[in-house]
């Protein structure tokens, strides 16, 4: 019988929790980036980032493992289906190319000793070392944050659940350029893939457990 962690406080205990920050990069967040050049609305994304910075600061103080996920979408890494989808949707603007401003982190970034996982697919688990890194540290729970809620955050949440991690999506520290899809994704995750909670509940759980031996 596997161990079952039922309460949020048990799920997010510092010794087995990783904060995963997905794709908070200029191309998805900044005014001159890929999303902006496609004419997508960035207000929700840009408003989310300061809240996420607060959660990152709290995670550092609590000793939570931090992983920053960085999308790199050079054409050499893209599949035929991915290129076909771009053509079908009329997307000609490059996104998150190696060494470019667009691929750089937006207003946040890893400190010394924090992990960076580079990915070439929507999910941070596909053909990366993320699962190995997490298991080597005894991680049971993923605190998922970042952009876009309905694309790379959701893809990572689904794979995390299938790999037997507890998935906790921090609802005010994820965002999308499409508000309706953001909300639909959060509901889908609540039903099938994990838990959706505000950052204040996570930090309150850390504060309440700060006196417990770790």
Q: Which residues have C-beta within 8 Å of that of residue 75, sequence separation ≥ 6? A: 83
User: Of 95, 152, 159, 173, which is the active-site residue?
Assistant: 152
Which helix (H) or strand (E) segment holds residue 152: the answer is: none
Residue 149's nearest CA partner among 120, 113, 180 is 180
**Is residue 152 among the annotated active site residues?**
yes
**How far is the C-alpha of 135 from the C-alpha of 72, rounded, in Å?**
24
User: For residues 179 and 55, is the Cβ–Cβ distance under 8 A?
Assistant: no
DSSP symbols for 34-90: HHHHTT---HHHHHHHHHHHHHHHHHHHHT-EEEEEEE---GGG--HHHHHHHHHTT
Residue 191 pLDDT exceeds 50: yes
Q: 42: which 2 tokens?
A: 């960035």
Q: How confident is the model at residue 3 (pLDDT cuts 50, 70, 90)?
A: confident
Report the mean per-residue pLDDT for the chain.
96
pLDDT interval class at 104 (50, 70, 90): very high
Whether residue 171 is predicted with pLDDT greater than 60 in this model: the reply is yes
Domains of the chain, by residue range, sit at 10-208
pTM, two decimals, is 0.96
Apex 155 CA angle, 52 and 86, nearest 5: 105
Q: What is the per-residue pLDDT across 120-157, written as a single tens digit (0 to 9) for each?
A: 999 999 999 999 999 999 999 999 999 999 999 999 99
Q: Is position 140 annotated as part of the catalytic site?
A: no
Candidate list 95, 96, 119, 159, residue with the active-site label: 119
Predicted confidence (pLDDT) at residue 60 exceeds the cutoff of 60:
yes
Catalytic residue among 11, 23, 95, 159: 23
Q: pLDDT at position 209, please?
A: 83
Q: 23 an active-site residue?
A: yes
Q: Is the pLDDT of residue 69 over 50?
A: yes
CB 198 within 8 A of CB 171: yes
Q: What would the CATH number be for the domain defined by 10-208?
A: 3.40.50.850
| Half-sphere exposure of residue 68: CA atoms within 13 angstroms, side-chain side | 21
Phi, then psi, of 122 in degrees rounded to 5? -60, -45
């Amino acid at each position: 019988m596997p161990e079952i962690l039922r309460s949020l406080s048990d799920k997010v205990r510092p010794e087995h929790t990783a904060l995963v920050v997905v794709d908070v990069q200029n191309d998805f967040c900044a005014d001159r980036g890929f999303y902006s050049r496609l004419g997508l609305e960035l207000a929700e994304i840009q408003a989310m980032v300061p809240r996420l910075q607060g959660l990152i600061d709290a995670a550092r103080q609590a000793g939570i493992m931090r992983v920053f996920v960085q999308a790199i979408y050079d054409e050499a890494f893209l599949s035929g289906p991915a290129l076909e989808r771009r053509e079908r949707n009329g997307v000609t603007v490059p996104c998150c190319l190696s060494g470019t401003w667009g691929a750089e982190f937006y207003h946040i970034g890893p400190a010394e000793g924090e992990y960076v996982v580079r990915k070439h697919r929507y999910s941070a688990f596909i053909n990366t070392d993320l699962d190995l890194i997490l298991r080597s540290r005894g991680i049971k729970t993923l605190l998922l944050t970042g952009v876009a809620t309905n694309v790379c955050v959701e893809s990572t949440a689904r794979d995390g659940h299938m790999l037997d991690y507890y998935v906790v999506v921090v609802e005010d520290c994820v965002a999308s350029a499409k508000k309706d899809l953001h909300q639909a994704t959060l509901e889908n995750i609540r039903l099938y893939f994990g838990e959706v909670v505000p950052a204040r509940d996570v930090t309150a759980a850390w504060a309440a457990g700060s006196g417990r031996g770790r």
